[in-house]
Amino acid sequence: MTKPTYRVIQWATGTVGTAALKYFIENPVTELVGVFVTNPAKAGKDAGDLVGLPKTGVIATSDIEALIAMDADCVLYSPAQSPALMDTLCRLLASGKNVVSPAGPFLPNKWFPEQTARIEAACVEGNSSFHGCGVHPGFAGDILPITLARLMSRIDCIEVTEIIDKVRNPMIYTEMMGFGLDPEALLANPRRSPETYKAFYASMAMIAEALGKEIEKVTVKFEVSKALKDIRHLYGEVKAGTVGGQHYEWTAWVEGAPLIVYHFYWQLGEDLDPLWEQGEARYRVRIHGDPPLECNLLGGQDTSEHGDGRHPFLGLPWTGLVGCTVVPQVCDAAPGIVTHLDLGVVQPRGLVRR
């Protein structure tokens, strides 16, 4: 039974957390009761001031103990990756608060049995629920293709592709991800480890489970493209001849054939060799079978004064919002880890405000 309002704590205000904080302040179904920040320049400020909204009376704090002791229905937990991530997550769950989080471990997953067991135990202790969210994993590579499968009469293979042009959609992590390195060096030591697919495995397994199948193995490919000239981006420059593009491909095999393929194409503009012509930043789902289907998920056209009419990549704000919109259902769910398959069709409330 949906309550009139859900008392929510926003944990960290990075790109994802900022979108979530704004949502919780503005949405009438949620009542913001706490905000955790690490940045000393943000601590002590009103939550409204952090996102350019009127004052809320809720003051951002770095006091973890005070927030854990606070009474709240749910925490949107979106901190940076850190060694303390799991400890704090489990303490929040054990304190009786439901947690929705894009920060991983995303969902129960055979590759992360220890984390899964710890989260389950914390849920039992606090009589609380945990839901992993995000745009990918968490939406584009699981609930979206599962929903689209309703339009198919036979499925041969599902391809989910993330396409980001990091010149048009700059990200602070660009250098950290290996752009600008010697191509051979990055191929030998990819910054996104070949094992990263394990964090996405829950999404693949969820599709397979929804289709009544089981994944036998996942195979991994990685290729890079070279910058044909020096390429400037918001956070630096990559030199001609160094890595200007990366393509990861993970294939989940079912009954001896590929059933689910995830591609990630990250490119710095178009002066690249090879240039993988994937079009504008988006998530694309292609379902091969009968009838064949393609669905493109992309931000609305930027028609603002300084916009160029193209579509921005909204993966980070979407990661916050997909968590916010599920908060009531997670709070109302039975205790434990709740996946998309447990929640069924989510009914976001408070979005229509005339």
Ligand X SMILES: NC(=O)c1ccc[n+]([C@@H]2O[C@H](COP(=O)([O-])OP(=O)(O)OC[C@H]3O[C@@H](n4cnc5c(N)ncnc54)[C@H](OP(=O)(O)O)[C@@H]3O)[C@@H](O)[C@H]2O)c1
Q: Any contact of residue 76 with ligand X (CB under 6 A)?
A: no
Site string for ligand X, 266-305 (x = CB under 6 A): ----------------------------------------
Q: Which of 103, 158, 206, 324 binds ligand X (CB under 6 A)?
A: 103
**What is d(CA 159, CA 284) in angstroms, rounded to the nearest whole number?**
8
Q: Which of 34, 102, 105, 145 binds ligand X (CB under 6 A)?
A: 102
Q: Any contact of residue 37 with ligand X (CB under 6 A)?
A: yes
Question: Nearest residue by C-beta to ligand X?
Answer: 14
CB 183 within 8 A of CB 243: yes
Q: Any contact of residue 58 with ligand X (CB under 6 A)?
A: no
Q: Any contact of residue 42 with ligand X (CB under 6 A)?
A: yes
Instruction: Name which of 15 and 196 has its Cβ closer to ligand X.
Output: 15
Helices 113-126/85-94 angle, 10° precision: 30
In a 3-state reduction of DSSP, which class is residue 166? Answer: coil
Max Cα-Cα span within the chain: 59
Instruction: Name which of 124 and 176 has its Cβ closer to ligand X.
Output: 176
CB 348 within 8 A of CB 330: no
Ramachandran area for residue 224 (φ above 0: left; ψ -120 to 50: alpha; else beta): beta
CB 244 within 8 A of CB 265: no
Q: Any contact of residue 183 with ligand X (CB under 6 A)?
A: no
Stretch that binds ligand X, among 12-20, 148-156, 232-240, 304-312 (CB under 6 A): 12-20
Instruction: Name which of 76 and 254 has its Cβ closer to ligand X.
Output: 76
**What is d(CA 112, CA 214) in angstroms, rounded to the nearest whole number?**
18
122: exposed, middle or buried (Cβ count in 10 Å: 0-12, 13-18, 19+): buried
Q: Any contact of residue 15 with ligand X (CB under 6 A)?
A: yes
Contacting residues for 76 by C-beta, under 8 A, at least 6 apart: 8, 9, 10, 11, 17, 20, 24, 100, 101, 320, 323, 324, 327
CB 272 within 8 A of CB 245: yes
Instruction: Name which of 60 and 238 has its Cβ closer to ligand X.
Output: 60
Stretch that binds ligand X, among 128-136, 162-170, 201-209, 252-260 (CB under 6 A): 128-136
Instruction: Name which of 254 and 282 has its Cβ closer to ligand X.
Output: 282
Q: Any contact of residue 38 with ligand X (CB under 6 A)?
A: yes
Q: Which of 12, 75, 215, 337 binds ligand X (CB under 6 A)?
A: 12
User: Least distance (Å) from ligand X to the CB of residue 84?
Assistant: 6
Which residues of this chain interact with ligand X, rule CB under 6 A? 12-17, 37-39, 42, 78-82, 102-103, 134-138, 316, 319
